[in-house]
Amino acid sequence: MAGREDEVRQAGTGSADGSAWAEELLDHLRPTGRDVRRVVAWLADAVDGIAALRDDTGTLLGGPLPPLDDHLVEAVAAGRIASAAWEGQGRHLRLVRVAYPNPSAAGVLAVSRESAFDRRTADIVTHTVQVIELLLRAGETTAAGRRLEQATSDLRLAILQLLMVEDTVSARRVAAGLWPGLLDTDSACVHVVEGTAEERDGLAAECIDVTGERALVVLCPAVDEHVIVVTPGEAEARQLRSLIGPRPRTFLGGSARHSLARTATAYGQAVSALAVAHFRPDKAAVYAERTHPERLIDPAALRDWTDRLLRPLDTLPHHTRAELLATTRLGLEFTAVSAAKVLGVSRNTVRARMERVEGLLRTDFADLTARAVVHLALNIQVSLADTPAGSDATTGAVPVPLNDLLSGPAMRTWAQDLLAHLDKDSRNLRRTLRAWIAEGGNAERAAQTLGVHAQTVREHVRSAEPVLQRQLLAGGTDLYEVVLAHLTLGDLDQPALRAAKQGLPDSLVHR
């Protein structure tokens, strides 16, 4: 491009009246002035006439188009003649071919003026064509760069979506072509970086830079402020933390380490940790830093209960089962719309898959206690996936019902400590929260039960969030842990999960 600028500059300085017009023309090549329409308008003023640019399809790109001979225009555009000039009806007209970045296409610049074209105006037209060609070429390069960036971003998202449905083989195959070694790992962590929507593209670029492209960096399709990063090593996670400090409105949530097939679970954990990061001075949190209820229950009994609850899904083909479980994990963590965007499917598909799981488990996800219990089972399935089944001495013993799993001393202590924080508020947040959960998170129904205004219920629930250091209105892991705490203390009724009762003695089913 610099060479073409020199051509224009030299031609201009050699003209009879100096280089003023050439300097003006060169200004249109500066980054702040690159606009073909403005160049065409400038040309009309410079030659004291009319100028118009038509592309290869006949579309007018700038200026008012004078009357033209279509056959002559076609001949110039096709390259059969380089330019044409004639005089008629008191005007002088010139047509010049404008080469496009695509060799098979060309436009035509038409310039009309009352006076004949002298050496100066002819030079202006000639070099204006050169500038327009440069701008078109630069525009195509910029557009191609944007298309490449978008294609790369879409490819990263496609890899993530394959991981979300446990299709690690396809994910590795897609990644291998552009990022060799990116997924050459058995396990990874998922981090979610939250900034502002306006700064997200720049934040994602920094994530790629600091991780040396050793991590999968994806613009979250569901939340405009989020960047999802799958990090195979600890070094990449530390580098992500370095981005948080200097940025005042940036937060980081990270998951525990999981196999690549458990990326959906890791993503849910990262979002949960991100909620905690909002309350931390360093603006970062990791999921494992918090005590979670499943860690306080006997693992052998918990696994046996989980296997029994999810057993109806074992009859499905592996791919279908993985698809349903991955969708349900995300559907329980987020809205159907958000889960659909993350998975790259429609929200109706998400709802249909979750309804199928509801039918297999014979439960109702409109019930928050049912959602919390199934969410617990799905988490257990992931965390104990690598533990050999049947290795414990309790295998083959009488199954332990959910009520007994939750009633252990460690669980009760955890639940009491968690909910006791609410007792310090004189507004009786605990009572409001219990009613709100019992009504499926519906503020209007909870308000009727409590005899207060629905806005009061919402304010109480919102006030409970910083006290518990958990997001409640957004749903997901944070809310389900609070629901389990209520179930543990007997503040809520056990959910209907008839699939989990199969094979249990009647004396245990109703405990």
pLDDT in tens, 28-65: 777 666 788 888 888 888 888 888 888 777 777 777 77
Beta strand pairing call for 251-254 and 83-88: unpaired
Taking CA atoms, 495 is separated from 46, 293, 372, 440, 480, in Å, by 80, 17, 9, 12, 13
HSE on the CB side for 280, CA within 13 Å? Answer: 19
d(CA 203, CA 199): 6
Tokens in use for 128? 């204006």
Convert 3-61 into a string of H (helix), E (strand) and C (coil). Answer: HHHHHHHHHHHCCCCCCHHHHHHHHCCCHHHCCHHHHHHHHHHHCCCEEEEECCCCCEE
Contacts of 103 (CB under 8 A, 6+ apart): none
Contacts of 167 (CB under 8 A, 6+ apart): 322
Nearest to 178 by CA among 205, 151, 142: 151
d(CA 493, CA 475): 19
Length of the chain: 511
pLDDT the model gives residue 182:
84
Nearest to 167 by CA among 268, 260, 267, 266: 260
> Residue 60 in 3-state DSSP?
strand
The torsion of the CA quartet 347, 351, 357, 359, rounded to 10 degrees, works out to -160
Nearest to 371 by CA among 491, 475, 263: 475
Residue the block writes with tokens 């719309």 = 337
CB of 254 within 8 A of CB of 190?
yes
d(CA 446, CA 441): 8
Beta strand pairing call for 216-219 and 226-231: antiparallel
HSE on the CB side for 319, CA within 13 Å? Answer: 5
pLDDT the model gives residue 145:
67
CB of 496 within 8 A of CB of 366?
no
Helices (H), 101-216: 119-164, 168-178, 200-210
pLDDT the model gives residue 492:
92
Question: Cα angle at 309 between 305 and 311, to 5 degrees?
Answer: 115
**Model confidence, pTM:** 0.63
Q: What is the pLDDT of residues 194-240, one digit of tens each?
A: 999 998 999 999 999 988 878 999 999 989 999 999 998 888 888 88
d(CA 339, CA 423): 35
Positive or negative: CA dihedral 493, 496, 502, 506: positive
What is the maximum span of the chain, computed from C-alpha positions, in angstroms? 107
d(CA 195, CA 505): 53
Residue the block writes with tokens 């924080």 = 421
d(CA 471, CA 482): 10
Q: Is 330 exposed, middle or buried (0-12, 13-18, 19+ CB in 10 A)?
A: buried
How many other CB atoms are there within 10 angstroms of residue 501's CB atom? 19
Q: What letter would DSSP give residue 217? A: E
> Residue 61 in 3-state DSSP?
strand
d(CA 144, CA 91): 40
Residue the block writes with tokens 């969030």 = 465
Q: Is 202 exposed, middle or buried (0-12, 13-18, 19+ CB in 10 A)?
A: exposed
Tokens in use for 203? 């934040």
CB of 128 within 8 A of CB of 26?
no
pLDDT the model gives residue 441:
93
d(CA 38, CA 58): 19
What are φ and ψ of residue 187, in 5° steps? Answer: -145, 160
Amino acid at 354: M
pLDDT string in tens for the chain (511-residue length): 333 444 444 434 344 444 678 777 777 777 666 788 888 888 888 888 888 888 777 777 777 777 777 777 777 877 787 788 777 777 888 888 888 777 767 788 888 888 888 888 888 888 888 888 888 888 777 776 677 777 888 888 999 999 988 888 899 988 887 788 888 888 999 999 999 999 899 999 999 998 887 899 999 998 999 999 999 888 888 888 888 877 888 999 999 888 998 898 889 889 888 888 887 888 998 886 667 788 888 888 888 999 999 999 999 998 899 889 989 988 998 888 989 988 889 999 999 999 999 999 999 999 999 999 999 998 888 766 555 554 444 445 567 888 888 988 999 999 999 999 999 888 999 999 999 999 999 999 999 999 999 999 999 999 999 888 888 988 888 899 999 999 999 999 988 775 444 443 333 333 3
pLDDT the model gives residue 418:
92
d(CA 142, CA 155): 20
pLDDT the model gives residue 94:
86
How many other CB atoms are there within 10 angstroms of residue 316's CB atom? 15
pLDDT the model gives residue 501:
46
Beta strand pairing call for 251-254 and 284-286: parallel
